[in-house]
Amino acid sequence: MYVCICNGVTDRDIRDAASRGARTVKDLRRELGVASDCGKCASCAHEVLCEARREAPLPGRLQPA
């Protein structure tokens, strides 16, 4: 789904950025341009980022097989 219409950023783009280390909306703005134009996407982008971080495996933690 598109999160930032102004810059054509999808939830998948945000999840990918999170997997590369993005931790804040400011990180997403720097990397993807999220919330850099009208800003209406900031809250949705934050929600997607938080969800992606919750779902991401923690470093050094064994994952179930």
Range of the domain at 46: 2-55
pLDDT at position 56: 76
CA distance 5 to 65: 38
CA distance 27 to 46: 11
Does residue 61 lie in a domain region? Answer: no
pLDDT at position 57: 66
Phi-psi region of 59 (alpha: psi -120 to 50; beta: other; left: phi over 0): beta
pLDDT at position 38: 95
How many domains in the chain? 1
Average pLDDT over residues 11-21: 96
Q: Please tell me what DSSP assigns to residue 9.
A: E
What proportion of the chain, given as a percentage, has pLDDT over 90?
83
What Cα–Cα distance (Å) separates residue 15 from each residue in 8, 32, 34, 56? 14, 11, 13, 9
Does residue 62 lie in a domain region? Answer: no
